[in-house]
Amino acid sequence: MTASPQPVDAFDLVIFGGTGDLAVRKLLPALYHRYADGQIPDTSRIVGIAREGLDDEGYRAHARKALMENGGDKSKVDDFLKLLHYRSLDARKDEGWDAFAKLIGEQPDHVRVFYLSTSPDLFVDICNRLGAYGLNQGKARVVLEKPIGRDLKSANQINDDVGQVFDESQTFRIDHYLGKETVQNLLALRFGNILFEPLWNAEHIDHVQITVAETLGVGQRAGYYDHAGALRDMVQNHILQLLCMVAMEPPSSLAPDAVRDEKLKVLRSLKPIDESNAAQLTVRGQYRAGAAEGQSVPGYLDELKDHKSNTETFVAVKAEIANWRWAGVPFYLRTGKRLPERVSEIVVVFKPVPHSIFDASAGPLAQNRLVLRLQPDENIKLWVTIKHPGPGGLRLRHVSLDMSFAEAFGVQQPDAYERLILDVVRGNPTLFMRRDEVEAAWHWADPILAAWADSGESPRPYTSGTWGPSAAVALIERDGRTWNEDSE
């Protein structure tokens, strides 16, 4: 039995960067699916903003193509498109802003969501314009896409400047990984079942792995990516947020600040990694030409069209949390491009049994593992040891208790943006980053970046289609452990 979707109040959602990849590939399909399920009222409006000279019909045609390619139902798509409008605006020029403000002002009682799907260097310009026209008043909210800055100093500057227009309660810093069903189910597994929480500590858990692997290269994002790199692009935000969900103490409730207070404690408890230990606890790599998904692919420098770059496309980190629950438990983090599989997962590996009662002929006793797969197919596996069925003595097998969300509930799992956008409309910030979380994450990441820069060493090369540099394997195997690469 599935829960019935709850409708939200009528709203105006304005997407700055409305013709961009994120808007067309993720945001508009997410809104369409929520509309098709009856959660978005017909009186709502979705306004795309970009510099291209389109009109409403041109934008709707652009959106229709993307939605139909995404499996949309023609009649429902046609109804949804009636909600769409378009305005051509430049964040740094005056033209068109008067008419845009008048359009938004036609529905003064609507919730107003301004989604900044743009380069971060436009965040402040857009917010200043919105403030100048009084569009930040009433039930107005702003959504900031990552990255929030390049380091702690620039993040603070962006937050200070945006905060002059929108206060903290109006600001939603989005990390779409927190909207994934598997991440939500981590809360349910930990705090809704007595089975796991008593074991969720250093006494019973050997280590934790978090992997976010991509088969794609940087492609058209090469210009942006070369100024970011894997640590800024993935570790400082997505992966640290997942780490917080695994490691946080039980909150007193699911109230937004109760959850975010506990996540903040984790970030502030991360052991520092700096010039004194970065060489031992981190590995960075850069992909070379190779094969991905059965095709020959160029190396990073070829895609960048440059022969020299110290930007990392792969990172592995051994992190630790200095508190009573997690003392001595390593968290192995890795992310990279041009890896063999597209997979995001959290692996919790429990300690071995203290004593085996079985003969050697029964086979080895493997450690229990809880594997939470975030993509591509969201599921949860608990690996346990059982007796192999049949006569012939007692033989042990390591098998998984497997729950696929799609199979268990018989429905297509909603995309993370579907949940998160409607949470903004409802004014629920639980799954969004508070300013002090962003600051704490940069406070941990900045010394790593500084250590790399001061070392003068280039990222280690790895062939596309492999699991990164060999040093990343050594990082975990010198501790007597191995990366989880079970894709079954």
Q: What is the 3-state secondary structure (H, E, C) of 321-380?
A: ECCCCCCCCEEEEEEECCCCCCEEEEEEEECCCCCCCCCHHHCCCCCCEEEEEEECCCEE
DSSP structural state of residue 125:
H
DSSP string, 23-69: IIIIIHHHHHHHHHTT-S-TT-EEEEEESS---HHHHHHHHHHHHHH
CA dist., res. 1 & res. 103, Å (int): 42
Sequence-ordered alpha helix ranges (H) in 133-180: 152-163
CB atoms inside a 10 Å sphere around CB 106: 9
Beta 140-144 vs 111-116: how paired, if at all?
A: parallel
CB atoms inside a 10 Å sphere around CB 159: 20
Query: What are the tokens at 159?
Result: 């937050």
Of 434, 460, 444, the C-alpha closest to 159 is 434
Beta 45-50 vs 84-88: how paired, if at all?
A: parallel
Write down the catalytic residue from 62, 85, 207, 238: 238
Confirm whether 238 is a catalytic residue. yes
Q: Point out the residues that are catalytic.
A: 238
